């Protein structure tokens, strides 16, 4: 049956999930929902990609909707005000384009171009308004996203978000150096790096503007809340690795849980896939326990005061959206053209990227 009661495409079809990637527990216990703003979100993000010159017009027209970037965010951040969801969706689309630029800079051996971009992104994160008209469209679009995201909550949230994203940029640099040297990290080292390159704490931070308030440190650092948040992100990162393994093997990647298992644990490809499935399924089971603990924690915050009621409601909203991450990530990987490697002319070159290889811009 379709993932949604009403499809996000004009020609709704049942989605065939390959048996090796099928997770019946997600399909049964994590019903998928969609933010009602989604149709306008898709249209506005498509327009934004064009205005910011992040993708050529022909690629936007042919691929943007099919990549399903807005579907991913509209299925995650339910309850978000429209302006907040739009800012997050544009930022998410930017993130995918940035990831593609990073990949192309590695493939075409452009270390100076990557280093220049890395430093520019750090600078734009700290002073986004100064970079809104930067010559590099990727930097200007990032600055636009940051300005908008910084407008929703207090400076303390902005500072936290910036610190987390500085870490993401540096993790991408470590990944660049590993790939340039052909270094496949051991499993433990890879998983720690993956928490940064997947931006675990960025997507978790963004739960707060959706809920309408910044959470105090004591709440965010509470073990029940933090474990539920971490497990929701670990599932997404590990399931992404499972689904993208063929794409990344074709592209000579070195950063994938399956690739680390094969290299450092001596597993065959088939054994690595089974182990990844086991870890993903274990993560889902652990989340169901953590979710109950986090909701119990949220209930305890309601001490009869207005502040207590508001904090309890905000935490419950955040935890509900952690749950949404499971279903939206799962279906995204089976709907998005980003993972349909078998349909590409060249399995190592995504058709939606700008594969310009001439020089360092």
User: Quick check: is 277 catalytic?
Assistant: no
Q: How many CB atoms lie within 10 A of CB 286?
A: 16
Query: Would residue 338 show up in a list of annotated catalytic residues for this protein?
Result: yes
Q: Which of 229, 253, 238 is nearest to 106 (CA)?
A: 253
Contact 200, 193 (CB under 8 A): no
161 is catalytic: no
E-strand spans in 74-134? none
Tokens 């594969």, located at residue: 355
Residue pair 45/69 in contact (Cβ under 8 Å)? The answer is: yes
Residue from 30, 91, 96, 165 carrying the catalytic annotation:
96
Q: Let me know if 235 is a catalytic residue.
A: no
For tokens 């280093």, what's the residue? 115
Q: Active site residue: 30, 91, 142, 198, which one?
A: 198
Query: Which of the following is catalytic: 4, 91, 95, 326?
Result: 95
| Cα–Cα distance for residue pair 231/322, rounded to 1 Å | 9
Catalytic-labelled residue, pool 104, 316, 320, 338: 338
SS3 per residue for 31-90? CCCCCCCHHHHHHHHHHHHHHCCCCCHHHHHHHHHHHCHHHHHHCCCCCCCHHHHHHHHH
Q: What are the angstrom distances between the C-alpha of 283 and each of 6, 227, 229? A: 29, 11, 12
d(Cα 32, Cα 254) in Å, to the nearest integer? 32
DSSP 8-state class, residue 215: P
The CA dihedral of 98, 281, 313, 199, to the nearest 10 degrees, is -20
> What is the spatial distance between Cα 188 and Cα 211, in angstroms, rounded to a whole number?
33
Active site positions, annotated = 95-96, 198, 338
């Amino acid at each position: 049956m379709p993932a949604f009661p009403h499809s996000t495409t004009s020609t709704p079809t049942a989605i065939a999930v390959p048996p090796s990637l099928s997770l019946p527990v997600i399909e049964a216990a994590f019903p998928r929902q969609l933010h009602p703003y989604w149709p306008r979100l898709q249209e506005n993000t498509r327009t934004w990609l064009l205005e910011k010159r992040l993708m050529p017009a022909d690629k936007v027209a042919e691929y943007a909707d099919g990549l399903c970037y807005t579907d991913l965010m509209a299925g995650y951040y339910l309850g978000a005000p429209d302006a907040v969801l739009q800012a997050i969706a544009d930022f998410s689309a930017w993130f995918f384009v940035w990831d593609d630029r990073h990949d192309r800079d590695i493939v075409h051996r452009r270390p100076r171009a990557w280093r220049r971009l890395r430093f520019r992104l750090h600078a734009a994160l700290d002073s986004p308004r100064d970079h809104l008209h930067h010559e590099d469209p990727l930097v200007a679009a990032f600055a636009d996203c940051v300005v908008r995201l910084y407008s929703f909550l207090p400076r303390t949230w902005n500072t936290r978000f910036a610190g987390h994203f500085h870490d993401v940029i540096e993790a991408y640099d470590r990944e660049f150096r590993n790939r340039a040297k052909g270094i496949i990290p051991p499993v433990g080292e890879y998983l720690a790096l993956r928490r940064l390159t997947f931006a675990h704490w960025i997507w978790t931070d963004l739960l707060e503007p959706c809920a309408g308030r910044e959470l105090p440190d004591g709440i965010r650092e509470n073990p029940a809340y933090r474990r539920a948040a971490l497990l929701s992100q670990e599932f997404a990162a590990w399931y992404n690795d499972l689904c993208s393994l063929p794409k990344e093997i074709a592209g000579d990647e070195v950063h994938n849980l399956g690739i680390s298992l094969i290299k450092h644990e001596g597993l065959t490809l088939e054994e690595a896939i089974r182990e990844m499935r086991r870890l993903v399924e274990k993560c889902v089971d652990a989340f169901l326990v953590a979710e109950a603990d986090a909701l119990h924690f949220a209930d305890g915050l309601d001490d009869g005061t207005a502040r207590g009621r508001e904090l309890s409601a905000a935490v419950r909203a955040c935890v509900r959206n952690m749950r949404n991450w499971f279903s939206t990530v799962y279906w995204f990987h089976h709907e998005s053209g980003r993972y349909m490697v078998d349909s590409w002319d060249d399995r190592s070159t995504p058709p939606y990227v700008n594969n310009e290889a001439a020089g360092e811009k």
